[in-house]
Structure 1
Amino acid sequence: MQTVIAFILIFGSLVFFHELGHFLLAKRAGIMVREFAIGMGPKIFGMTKGETIYTLRLLPIGGYVRMAGEDTDTVELQPGYRVALITNEDNIVEKIILNQKTHYQNVIFLEVERADLERELWIEGYDEDDQFVRYNVSRTALVVENGMEQMIAPLDRQFNSKSVGARAMAIFAGPLFNFILAFFIFLIIGLIQGIPSEEPIIAEVIDNNVASSAGIMEGDKVVRVNGQAISTWEQLSEQIYDNPNKAITFEVERETGNEIIELTPKQVVQEDGTTYGQIGVMRTMEKNPLQAVVYGVEETYNMIVLIGTLVGKLVTGQFSIDALSGPVGIYKTTETVVTFGLYNVLYFAAMLSVNLGIMNLLPLPALDGGRLLFFAVEAVRGKPIDRQKEGMVHFVGILLLMILMVVVTWNDIQRFFF
């Protein structure tokens, strides 16, 4: 149950912040957001607030922000189409009902001759007395079809009407918010747990381990290893890491004087067969709000560099696709990480957030990076690429991503259950 809760919280947070970035920058640019969705597939829950419906969907494989004008969500009223209109006290249309069976009172039936629901906002045609009439349409008018209401989207509220820069920022904001989330997670770790000290001072000795058996004590400051001077924790770690199953000599500084201690780091074998040494000690943690901010920035940057390097190796073929993990793999890793405590769960969440941000910035169709690439081409050409051609490229990209998701998920299932 712990794993399920942790997985839902981690995955939900990553997707929520990613989509929140798109949402906030779209709203800032004046773009109408039709839907803010967490998850994909069938809707489990929906709540409408203002012009946006907020939904929770069944499949935990992502989310989306649907903006007006991105797809075929605009309403076109063709000549001869019969509609019912509801107007306000100023005789401005507030609702357009696209079928004749309606429970609304005081409606005006109209056979449409022409309509403009994007630029000048009007509708004209013949009423029940066969009189030609024209009505202005409110910018917030609702179109009702089969009982479902949707607000019209004036051209200036549509995604494609905005400048290249505004559209690019609305798309880039998703990955950006994943990096921001990672920063805040590292900041929280730094504020609560503290910042790792650079000094080679032992803060904790784990029971029944190499260090405790050898006589290492809390508060010991390691000054030499095998006669080599030690001034930082990293230097101490390297000596332990590089000497599995090899006897080494510690010189530690205590209040009672310096002591010489011999020990042999335990050999730990990783999945790829490589080994490293471990003795079972923890470093000192310092609590300082300013240092926590610096720690958040540095850890986020280091994580971006690390994952960016791994992605680069994947692209160049130095990294196998079999190493990728989907939702199943993330769930199984979460199951392991949960056993190591809250801070490890938070660190894992920050890593995933950076990973999601970087993967979405790859210049591939259907990903945010692919869309940014189209915007870059548009900026250079001075005009957009044909929307239908771009849509087809993204559609193919979605199909390929779905195939990749199936392959990765199948690999996860074989890896963990067979």
Structure 2
Amino acid sequence: MTTIIAFIFVFGLIVFFHELGHFLLAKRSGILVRDFSIGFGPKIFAYKKKETQYTIRLLPIGGYVRMAGEDGEELDLKPGYRVGLELSKDETVTKIIVNGKDQYVNAQPFEVSKADLEKELFIEGFEDYDESKKIRYQVARDAVVVDGKIETQVVPYDRTFGAKSLGKRAATIFAGPLFNFILAILIFTALAFIQGGVASTENTLGNVVKDSPAAEAGLHEGDKVLSISGTKTNSWAEIVGKVSENPDKKLMFKIERDGKTQEVKVTPEKQKVQGEAVGKIGVENPIKDSFGAKISYGFTNTWNWIHQIFDVLGKMITGGFSLDMLNGPVGIYTSTEQVVSYGFLTLLNWTAVLSINLGIVNLLPLPALDGGRLLFFLYELIRRKPVDPKKEGIIHFVGFALLMVLMILVTWNDIQRAFF
């Protein structure tokens, strides 16, 4: 049960931030957002505020933000339609009832002869279905069309996704992955404050363990290691690497202490780590606990993970692709089960890493992903004209279908690894 809750928490938080990025930039760009949904499948919770419906669905493995004009939606009132109209005090149409007119006793019977619910926003026709009473009404920008129990808000063309500038459309799509990186930065920063500090990468010694080779040699916490046996050391990683490579061998540490340099001989103790002999001198990683160090850790650690993930992607491309390199929901669930056993802070760290992964994967230039859509925008920028919407829709549909097939294969592979 704990793993299930943790899995929902991790996926829910990552998906929420991703979709929040799309949502906020769409709103800022003036795009009408019809739905903000976390999860797929049947609705568990639904709440409508103003023009957007917010929903939580049963399967916590994704989400979406449905923006006006994205899915080819069209409110079309053909000539001859008999509808009901509700009007404001200034006789502007606020509600068009297509089906279920008997539930709206104040609705004006109206037969449509012509209508534009997108650009000019008007409806023209005959009151009381009487052809001698032809009239034209202006339609409110936030009017709704009622079809039974379904109410759909009219969307002026200037509030659709396609009507916005290339820059605004690209920013709205890019914002999803960007917010995944922002989530990682926030989590890593929070962890730095919770843990009281962050590991330093500088070539300075941290706590020196009592009775260790370092302590016996006279090394102190805060000593800056300039070189080891003639090899310059500019980072903590270089110190660890040099010591690890030389178990039971005397090393000459050139250090700086209180503004003065001196040399200290140290012999790393041989220890077995995963069956391999390595050198240890008993010095811990230096810790930075300043406010600035904790803030910067969120950015630097996120960047380090981005770099590592791109390295892995590069090796996948150059070294040959295998399904074993990928994890689907089952694989992530299994990994989450292991992470949970190490505590909540480790789970938070895992969430940040997964969020970075999702951000990068979504930026890959593949159809149906955010990166694929950005690629179409790049084409539009170069050619100075957009791809035909129908052709783009077909490409995204085929890409989505292929991604679903890949997801099924990866999930099956995860199940085999987990249970067989």
User: Given the two structures, how large is their TM-score scaled by the length of structure 1?
Assistant: 0.86
After TM superposition, give the deviation of residue 35 of structure 1 in Å. Answer: 0.5
User: Which residue of structure 2 aligns with residue 347 of structure 1?
Assistant: 349
User: Which residue of structure 1 aligns with residue 41 of structure 2?
Assistant: 41
After TM superposition, give the deviation of residue 128 of structure 1 in Å. Answer: 2.1
2:271 is the alignment partner of 1:265: yes
**5+ residue gaps, structure 1:** 206-210, 270-274
Partners of 1:260 and 1:313 in 2: how far apart?
Answer: 38
User: Which residue of structure 2 aligns with residue 328 of structure 1?
Assistant: 330
Partners of 1:47 and 1:282 in 2: how far apart?
Answer: 52
After TM superposition, give the deviation of residue 312 of structure 1 in Å. Answer: 2.5
2:223 is the alignment partner of 1:196: no
2:70 is the alignment partner of 1:67: no
What is the 5 A alignment of 1:52-201? 52-130=52-130, 131-193=133-195, 194-197=197-200, 198=202, 201=205
SS at match of 1:346: helix
Q: How many residues align?
A: 401
After TM superposition, give the deviation of residue 226 of structure 1 in Å. Answer: 9.8
User: Which residue of structure 2 aligns with residue 208 of structure 1?
Assistant: none
1:42/1:241 CA distance change after superposition, 3 Å: farther
Letter in 2 for 1:393: I
Among candidates 218, 241, 244, match of residue 238 of structure 1: 241
Letter in 1 for 2:324: D
Partners of 1:352 and 1:374 in 2: how far apart?
Answer: 26
State the superposition RMSD in angstroms: 3.1
After TM superposition, give the deviation of residue 264 of structure 1 in Å. Answer: 2.9
Identity percentage over the alignment? 50
| 1:169-201 deviation digits (Å, cap 9, x = unpaired) | 100111111111111122112222211134664
Moved more, 169-178 or 315-324: 315-324
SS at match of 1:73: coil
| 1:370-409 deviation digits (Å, cap 9, x = unpaired) | 0011111112222211111100100111101111111111
1:201/1:173 CA distance change after superposition, 3 Å: same
CA contact (8 A) 2:35 2:67 kept: yes
CA contact (8 A) 1:326 1:408 kept: yes
CA contact (8 A) 2:51 2:153 kept: yes
1:249/1:398 CA distance change after superposition, 3 Å: same
After TM superposition, give the deviation of residue 8 of structure 1 in Å. Answer: 1.8
After TM superposition, give the deviation of residue 349 of structure 1 in Å. Answer: 1.6
| 1:269-324 deviation digits (Å, cap 9, x = unpaired) | 7xxxxx68597985343211111222222111111111122122323444533211
Moved more, 40-49 or 316-325: 316-325
Partners of 1:167 and 1:299 in 2: how far apart?
Answer: 30
User: Which residue of structure 2 aligns with residue 310 of structure 1?
Assistant: 312
SS at match of 1:363: coil
**5+ residue gaps, structure 2:** 256-263
1:348/1:159 CA distance change after superposition, 3 Å: same
After TM superposition, give the deviation of residue 359 of structure 1 in Å. Answer: 0.6
Partners of 2:308 and 2:204 in 1: how far apart?
Answer: 25
SS at match of 1:69: coil
Partners of 1:417 and 1:187 in 2: how far apart?
Answer: 37
After TM superposition, give the deviation of residue 260 of structure 1 in Å. Answer: 6.7
Letter in 2 for 1:43: K
1:262/1:359 CA distance change after superposition, 3 Å: closer
Moved more, 167-176 or 221-230: 221-230
Letter in 1 for 2:8: I
| 1:333-374 deviation digits (Å, cap 9, x = unpaired) | 112222223332222222111111111111100000100111
1:278/1:61 CA distance change after superposition, 3 Å: farther
Partners of 1:78 and 1:45 in 2: how far apart?
Answer: 35
CA contact (8 A) 1:40 1:61 kept: yes
User: Which residue of structure 2 aligns with residue 272 of structure 1?
Assistant: none
